[in-house]
Each structure stands twice: as structure tokens, then as C-alpha cells.
Amino acid sequence: MISRKNLKQIAKARLKDSKILCKNGRYDGAVYLCGYAVEVTLKAKICKTLNWKGFPESSKEFEHYKSFKTHNLDVLLKLSGHELVVKSKYLADWSIIAQWDPEVRYKQIGSAAEVDAKNIISSTRNILGAL
């Protein structure tokens, strides 16, 4: 299991990394890491909502929780118990973030523009703050 505390630290680190990448013109990487910052934050919220000490990490730990083994941000948001709040108060930010999926790592280099990276960083910061 990975602890909620560790998940929160990872999320903050990924957002910080994305800002550094954006500042240095590495927009694709900045976008990619923002998605993971949101994913990890949602997993921490799931732990809190379900009163879990941590989120499953290994295949064995996921054995009875297969629906939780996903990178789909919409699914994770539903499981977190915070969908109503996020989609009612932060819909514009969520709409930007919800376009992310881990397959972005295979996109051609230069697919993300500076404005894309700045928008997702801003939206990620807002969503993390709301969660």
C-alpha cells in the first residue's frame, strides 16, 4: 500500500516538476505530469473517502479492487466522492484536465504548446486545491 501522505507528496512533486518543465520549454512533459498529479490526488481522496490507510500498489493488493486500478480521471473522480463538487464548482478546470490520459506519453514531441501546458498547470493547481 502507498500511504495517503505519500500520495499527496507525490502529487505536489509532479505539479512542481510540471512547472519546471514548462518554464524550460518542455511542454509535453509538463502536460503529462499534470495528469499524474491529478490522478495521484484522486487516489489519496479515495483513501480518505473509504477510510483506507493507503492505496493498493501491487497486483495482489488490487486483487479485490480491480475497478480502482485505472488511470481514467473521470472514473477516479467518481470513486473519490468529490465529483459533484468538482464538476459544479470547477467544471472549466476539470474539462481541461479530463482530456488527459497516460497515452499522451506516446504523442509526437511538440504536440503540446506553451498555452496548453500553462492551462493544464493552472487547472491542476485549482483542482488539487479543491481536493
pLDDT (tens digit per residue) in 12-40: 999 999 999 999 999 999 999 999 999 99
- Measured in whole angstroms, how far is the alpha carbon of residue 110 from the centre of its chain? 21
Structural domain for 87, as ranges: 2-130
For the chain, the first-to-last Cα distance in angstroms comes to 21
Handedness of CA 106, 119, 7, 85 (dihedral sign): negative
| Residue 87 reports pLDDT greater than 80 | yes
**Count of domains observed in the chain:** 1
**pTM score, whole prediction:** 0.89
CATH code at position 15: 1.20.120.330
pLDDT digits (tens, 9 = 90+) for 89-131: 999 999 999 999 888 887 888 889 999 999 999 999 999 999 9
